[in-house]
Amino acid sequence: MEVQSIDNQINKYAANITSIKEAQSRINSFIHKTPVLSSETLNSITGRRLLFKCECFQKGGAFKFRGASNAVFSLNNGQAAKGVVTHSSGNHAAALALAAKLRGIPAYIVVPKNAPKCKVENVQRYGGIVIWSEPTMQSRESVAAKVMHDTEAVLIHPYNDGRIISGQGTISLELLEQFPKIDTIIAPISGGGLISGIAVAAKSVNPAIRVLAAEPKGANDAALSKASGNIVTLLETNTIADGLRASLGDLTWPIVRDLVDDIIIVEDREIVEAMRLCYEILKVAVEPSGAIALAAVLSDSFQKNSVWKDCNHIGIILSGGNVDLGVIWRSLSQ
């Protein structure tokens, strides 16, 4: 009865287990099935078994390629011929450019002038057509709207899109196939596309699984939203995790509200320390956004919270590895 109730609940969202399984079939020949790493050292430090899903090894260097390829290959031929457009300062931009390249269609990428250099270079490397905007959401959206008007390209939103959410949900299906005993999954949260897909898929497979989000203190709008029961938008954000500065969308918010069990807030210094541990112990280079789930597990707010004492087999999503090394070296030396 309880399982049926959860299934009925999940079916009301922008993505469900059917759309996620369809996405998995659609993108299977394009994506990497990413490995899962573990470390006895990190297990000992945390007192749990940690299983690191390495989306930093995904094509394009981040999980975003899953959603982008699902969206691009969902288009009919008439839609695809016009190309796709998005506004993004990070990994979604590169992912969409790569997915469009694989389908042989143009990708118009509106990029704010303050975007990380390494991520802009990825867009260009994959053949995306970069169109600059001012570093405000209003400018990004207005420039994207003009591109859509001029080209008739299809808008692929970075996270507030059922196709994107479904694509990201394939991470859970893979991870739970690789390690069925996982009782908890922790992933970053920003606009909510990743955690929404993960939550829908994971709780469809195992209704008892815990899904936790990790968020930087300087961009804690999702935690504030959960606390208030409504979407909260911050006037400004301040965090090293440049990929976690977006606000929840009207499609991701209901899933985060209903299916994400809690949001763990961490400081930037904890994120940098988690990046260091990933590099020194796992031998994996991850960007700040990609390391935040490990930072959450290491935090006092998780370790000392009795609610999570039974979280023994934890899947940690290392969401991306597109790191601006100059920024990181400066952070590590402070």
Active site residue: 53, 64, 119, 203, which one? 64
Q: For residues 7 and 3, what is the distance between their CA atoms, to the nearest angstrom?
A: 6
Active site residue: 89, 166, 196, 204, which one? 89
323 and 242 Cβ atoms separated by less than 8 Å? no
Side chain identity, residue 32: H
Question: Measuring CA to CA, how many Å separate 170 from each of 55, 59, 200, 270, 308?
Answer: 11, 14, 10, 28, 25
Q: Is residue 101 annotated as part of the catalytic site, yes or no?
A: no
Q: For residues 142 and 134, what is the distance between their CA atoms, to the nearest angstrom?
A: 10
Q: What is the strand order of the sheet 49-54 is part of?
A: 36-37, 49-54, 313-318, 184-188, 210-216, 262-266
Q: For residues 328 and 1, what is the distance between their CA atoms, to the nearest angstrom?
A: 50
Q: For residues 126 and 61, what is the distance between their CA atoms, to the nearest angstrom?
A: 12
Q: What's the N-to-C CA distance of the chain in angstroms? A: 54
Q: Is residue 306 annotated as part of the catalytic site, yes or no?
A: no
139 and 114 Cβ atoms separated by less than 8 Å? no
Q: Annotated active-site positions, please?
A: 64, 89
